[in-house]
């Protein structure tokens, strides 16, 4: 039996990763595990509000999850499909990623 492929879903994944900052944020989360927006701001030099907007898009796509701890929200990459795609784009092994 032929496997059904959801092309719209795959295109949405590519669209979510098509922005350089979102790709950078997800790549960073895959390498380092969990981070908060303040830490991402220091690493990227991009404002917290801009990072938060892009993380929200990644959350809506199911590529990252968020967990509150006190006043901080910590983000974690949670999509094996996105991890495989990022690994191919970066020429890395998925097994080296934190998921």
Kind plus residue range of the DSSP H or E element containing 36 = strand 35-36
pLDDT for 2: 63
Q: Under a CB-based contact definition with an 8 Å cutoff, are residues 38 and 52 in contact?
A: no
What is the pTM assigned to this prediction? 0.91
Q: For 48-97, how does the pLDDT look when each residue is reduced to its tens digit (9 = 90+)?
A: 999 999 999 999 999 999 999 999 999 999 999 999 999 999 999 999 89
Is pLDDT at 1 greater than 80 in this prediction? no
> What is each CA distance from 63 to 9, 22, 58, 79, in whole angstroms?
12, 10, 5, 5
pLDDT tens, residue by residue, 8-27 = 999 999 999 999 999 999 99
Domains in the chain, start-ordered, CATH in brackets? 23-96 (1.10.10.10)
What is the token pair recorded at 67? 């967990």
pLDDT at 85: 96
Start-to-end CA distance of the chain, whole Å, equals: 31
């Amino acid at each position: 039996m032929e496997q059904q492929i959801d092309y719209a879903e795959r295109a949405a994944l590519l669209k979510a990763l098509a922005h350089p900052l979102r790709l950078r944020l997800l790549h960073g989360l895959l390498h380092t595990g969990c981070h908060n927006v303040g830490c991402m701001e220091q690493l990227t030099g991009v404002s917290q509000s801009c990072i938060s907007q892009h993380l929200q898009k990644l959350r809506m796509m199911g590529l990252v999850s968020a967990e509150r701890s006190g006043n901080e929200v910590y983000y974690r990459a949670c999509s094996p499909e996105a991890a495989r795609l990022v690994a191919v784009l970066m020429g890395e092994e998925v097994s080296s990623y934190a998921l």
